[in-house]
Structure 1
Amino acid sequence: MAIEIEDKFDVPRDYEVPALTGVPGCAEVVDMVTHRLTALYFDTADLRLAARGITLRRRRGGEDAGWHLKLPKARGVRDEIAHPLTRSAKIVPRELADLVQAYTRGETLHPVAELETLRKVTSLRDAGGRPLLEVADDHVKGTVFGAVFGADRHVDRWREIEAELIGGDAAVLKRTGKLLRKAGAVPASSQNKLARLLGPRIPPAAIPAPDDGSAGAVVVGYLKDQVAALVAQDPYVRRAGDDAVHQMRVASRRLRSALRSFSDVVTGTSGIQDELRWIANVLGEARDLEVIRERFSRLMETLDPVLVTGPVRARLVDDLAEREHEALARVNEVMSGQRYFALLDRLDALVANPPLTPLAIKRADRTLAPVARKGWRRVVRRYEAAQAIEDAERREIAMHDVRKAAKRARYTADALRPLLGEPAAVIAKRAKDVQEVLGLYQDGVIAQQILLDEAQRAREAGEDTFTYGLLAGLERAAADRSHLEFPAVWARVTAEDT
């Protein structure tokens, strides 16, 4: 997967590309060969990919012929996933089709348009001959296939300039853009060629929440952001991307927490909350295995090699990695099913047409500020209830509920930071401190149990189990430290509350 960072400009037919020798760090400007490129673009009949700024194409010609899937990350920044050309020009490779299932949701991918481009590339290089940036001067002919839209075929022609970073920094891109604009270029009116060609045929991804200071606007705006975050992680989860499972799981939990905390503003969402809990649990197995594998791997690195006896690393790192891989396969299977697609449909409908209560039209600061304070008071009540339990085992279970309440309070306060500022930030910080120290204790307890289970398997296989005991002792010590630290943490955060 490659990161594509570029600026695009609209230019007239008679535009003259200026001299680019004034770009910082550029020692040489080289005119490259001219390419003829033909790209066939695929989407659903209702243009679900285009609505999200995603492009999926099969391109012939040039130095990067093949299939390309581009996923937007930020303005001017996209992840590009490449796949070699296949024999069929009209069937999307399964590897790429799977990555857009969060958007297609079972709908067929069709060829919707074709772009024919005459491209002249200019390369900006440093003193060592290394490329910093490429400027592509494109003369484009675009064709929309009328059969997909029940209309006549449409053809358009235009010229545009793309400046793409290759090995330079932001200053190189900024200076190049300034020179191009000075010569008459203007920032592109569309985010990519396909968007320009399809124009008004592309439906809006969702109806934006009005920024009018109402409680409804604040809550729906936050929900919309979290839905977008969840869906954006989908293709990276399918590719086992770094931290992708964690980020998608967090988005699902933030959504569920917001729907619970702001139920006086957005109502009737218990069914969606249940499904968000379900998908978080699906992701949880793979995430938990990832965390514990990385934990054991780091812990093993701290041990003197003479203390590592038997095939401990194979059991605690390699075997866990294999189990994680199997869990990710189960995640992919679930994320290719109708229940998951139905959840995404419900989330889209939620942010497009939210079931708002009369409180939604009230001022956000007055309506939502009490919600943040209520979340923290819930943590305090849970803690007091836990401490009133005499039985140690039951008290420990109750402290796990304190941790969950702290996490919910943190998510709620985070959602309200843009509105409430410092008061929400303070609550979020307190809740995070409580959540983290309790989480360290819980992680240590879980790690000890896994080590005991693995030690038993090793013992049954006739292996030396000394290292498992050593690691279990280290985990026990870490959990005990967290347990002992908690009263001081609690005293500090509650003192701040007074």
Structure 2
Amino acid sequence: MLAVVVHDHVKIATLGSSTAGVAWTEVEMRDASDAGLAGEVEQRLGEAGLRPSTTSAETELDRLLRPAAPRRRRPTGKRVKPGTAGAALVDYLAAHVDRLAAEDLRARRGEEDSVHQLRVAARRMRSALQSYRRLLDRERTDPVVDGLRELARALAPARDAEVLHARIRDGLAGLEPELLLGPVQAQVTRHYGRVESEAAAAVLSTLDGDDYARLRRDLDELLQRPPLTKRAARPARKELPAHVARAARRLSRAVTVAVDETASADDRDLAVHDARKAGKRLRYATEVARPAVGKDAKRFSKELKGFQDALGEHQDTVVAREALRDLAAQAHGEGENGFAFGVLHGRDAARAAEIEARLPGLWATAWRPRNRRWLG
């Protein structure tokens, strides 16, 4: 065999509304030193209308797979008037549909933090659709909310495994050597290597699935024909704060339970988790309003950050303690020593108690009247 000639035709189909295609011919010479043969092949290919490429096939494929530049979507139905509540909401959703598309590709490539950012984009859109549901025709948006919720759930195991592995690995690395009884680091590496591999496969299966493709089409349709109600035509500066206020009251009710010192440990863990979810929903609702409201919304988000960070850290300790119990039981079942996992469990329990003690003060600071005066 003197040479191998391969003609590739590649078609890239997005999950939106566009496709791209390219074709190229590759020639692989078996004897690179035979300049005469190479010249003859090049001449014959030129006669067939082919021209030498300035880039490799790999480079061209990488270009095709690169995220497309965010496109400015123009609604095909009734025009959305700038400055209205509906326009603010549609702009926010459009930005995160583009973010979802970009993180989709990164997740398929297995890039670091991509699954987390994919979930965040989905969560932001879901929260916006829920918090501002009175501006929308829910007959069209409720299925999208359900699809975004299911996407976040499907991606959760991969993100949880990533976070837990890093947390436990770093925790073990910080222990005194005399507390590391048995091959605990090897056990953690072995366990999460398997878990993360399975979770990564599940992520790809989700992104290749029909439900996800349908969700992406529904999101594009939502932007092309926004299902806005008459209320969405009101000025954003006047309308949006009322929706943020509703999310704020939801958080306030959740915090009342979370700071109840008479509740059991399990009940408080659940209450703090509920407050954390309500806090995220409030934060995302505020993000929608920030361009229209300005510095008041920005200050509100900033003042809430310390409280929300504490809620997030508390939830991390809850999830980590459950994982540490499982690892300790696994070590015991394999005839190894799970003492180090118990040490980390105790430290996380102490950290959770410390956070719970700080929550009332953090909440009092975040919930000062001057921070929420703009909510009406």
Question: TM-score under structure 1 normalisation?
Answer: 0.61
Distance change >3 Å, CA 375–CA 429, structure 1 → 2 = farther
Query: Matches of 2:290 and 2:105 in 1, distance apart?
Result: 29
Q: Give the corresponding residue for 2:183.
A: 311
Among 4, 8, 11, the residue aligned to 1:42: 11
The CA distance in 2 between the partners of 1:384 and 1:467, in whole Å, is 36
Say if 1:373 and 1:55 are closer, same or farther in 2 by CA, change over 3 A: farther
CA contact (8 A) 1:210 1:217 kept: yes
Residue pair 2:254, 2:278 contacting (<8 A) in 1 also: yes
Change (3 A) 1:46 1:304: closer
Structure 1: 5+ residue runs without aligned partners?
Answer: 1-37, 71-79, 83-95, 104-190, 192-203
Q: What is the CA–CA distance in structure 2 between the aligned matches of 1:39 and 1:323, rounded to whole Å?
A: 37
Deviation of 1:426 (Å):
2.3
Mapped to 1, the partners of 2:303 and 2:207 lie a distance apart of: 35
Deviation at 1:321, TM superposition (A): 3.0
Partner Cα separation in structure 2 for residue 335 and residue 46 of structure 1:
10
Aligned residue identity for 1:482: I
Q: How does 1:263-278 map to 2 (within 5 A)?
A: 263-268=133-138, 269-278=141-150
Distance 2:251 2:186 in 1: 41
1:355 corresponds to which residue?
Answer: 227
Q: What SS class does the counterpart of residue 42 from structure 1 fall into?
A: strand
**Residues 328 and 43 of structure 1: is their aligned pair in 2 closer, same or farther, counting only changes over 3 Å?**
closer
Q: Corresponding residue for 2:155?
A: 283
- Judge conservation of contact 2:247–2:282 (CA < 8 Å) in 1: yes
Which of the residues 408, 414, 430 maps onto 2:281? 408
Residue 261, structure 1, aligned to residue 252, structure 2: no
What is the CA deviation profile of residues 127-171 of structure 1, one whole-angstrom value per residue up to 9, with x for unaligned ones? xxxxxxxxxxxxxxxxxxxxxxxxxxxxxxxxxxxxxxxxxxxxx
Counterpart of 2:83 (choices 213, 224, 227) is 213
SS in 2 for 1:478: helix
Q: Which secondary structure state, in structure 1, belongs to the residue aligned with residue 11 of structure 2?
A: strand
Shift of 1:306: 3.8
Cα 1:234–1:310 shift into 2, 3 Å = same
- Name the counterpart of 1:198: none
1:470 aligns with 2:337: no
| CA deviation map 1:65-120 (0-9, x unaligned) | 214467xxxxxxxxx469xxxxxxxxxxxxx7xx99xx9xxxxxxxxxxxxxxxxx
Which amino acid in structure 2 is aligned with residue 264 of structure 1?
Answer: R
Matched, 1:341 2:213: yes
Deviation at 1:390, TM superposition (A): 4.3
Asked whether the equivalents of residues 104 and 118 of structure 2 are also in contact (C-alpha less than 8 Å), the reply is yes
Mean Cα deviation higher: 301-310 or 450-459: 301-310
Structure 1 CA distance, aligned partners of 2:215 and 2:86? 22
* Structure-2 separation of matches of 1:389 and 1:341: 46
Partner letter of residue 301 of structure 2?
Answer: A
Kept in 1, the 8 Å contact 2:16–2:220? The answer is: no
Distance in 2 of aligned mates of 1:41 and 1:460: 51
Aligned-partner Cα distance in 1 for 2:172–2:152: 29
Higher helix share: 2
2:166 to 273, 284, 294: 294
1:66 and 2:57 correspond: yes
Residue of 269, 285, 290 corresponding to 1:417: 290
Letter in 2 for 1:402: A
- Provide the secondary structure at the position in 2 that maps to 1:355: coil
Distance 1:320-1:48 versus aligned 2 partners, 3 A rule: same
Q: CA deviation at 1:45?
A: 11
Counterpart of 1:470 in structure 2: which amino acid?
Answer: V
* Greater relative contact order (CA < 8 Å, ≥ 6 in sequence): 2
Task: State the Cα deviation string for residues 287-318 of structure 1 (Å, max 9, x = none).
Answer: 01101111112222222334322221122234
Deviation at 1:433, TM superposition (A): 2.5
Q: Is the 8 A contact 2:259 2:356 kept in 1?
A: no
Closer/same/farther in 2, CA of residues 354 and 47 from structure 1, 3 Å limit: closer
> Bigger shift: 477-486 or 411-420?
477-486
What is the TM-score when the length of structure 2 is the normalising length?
0.79
Assess, with a 3 A threshold, how the Cα gap between structure 1 residues 494 and 55 changes in structure 2: closer, same or farther.
farther
How much is the aligned-residue C-alpha RMSD, in angstroms? 3.0
SS in 1 for 2:147: helix
Match of 1:448 in 2: 321
Q: 1:56 to 1:423 in 2, by over 3 A?
A: farther
Number of corresponding residues: 333
2:216 counterpart SS class: helix
Q: Secondary structure at the match of 1:264?
A: helix
For residues 332-359 of structure 1, the C-alpha deviation after alignment (integer angstroms, 9 at most, x for no partner) is: 1121111111111111111110111001
Q: How does 1:52-201 map to 2 (within 5 A)?
A: 58=24, 61=52, 64-68=55-59, 80=62
Query: Share of identical aligned residues, percent?
Result: 33
Which of 428, 444, 448 aligns to 2:301? It is 428
Residues 309, 44 of structure 1: alpha-carbon distance in 2 compared, 3 angstrom cutoff: closer
Note if 1:237 corresponds to 2:107: yes
Corresponding residue number in structure 2 for 1:479:
352
Between the aligned partners of 1:347 and 1:44, the Cα distance in structure 2 is 17
Structure 2 unpaired stretches of 5+: 1-6, 27-51
Which of 308, 311, 319 is matched with 1:438 structurally?
311
- Letter of the aligned partner of 2:114 in structure 1? A
Corresponding residue number in structure 2 for 1:86: none
Partner of 1:178: none
Q: For 2:281 and 2:24, how far apart are their aligned partners in 1?
A: 45
- In structure 2, how many angstroms separate the alpha carbons of the residues matched to 1:59 and 1:250? 41
Matched letter for residue 351 of structure 1: L
Instruction: Output the CA distance in 2 between the equivalents of 1:46 and 1:262.
Output: 26
How many Å apart are 1:381 and its aligned residue? Answer: 2.2
Instruction: Report the CA distance between 1:447 and its aligned residue.
Output: 0.9
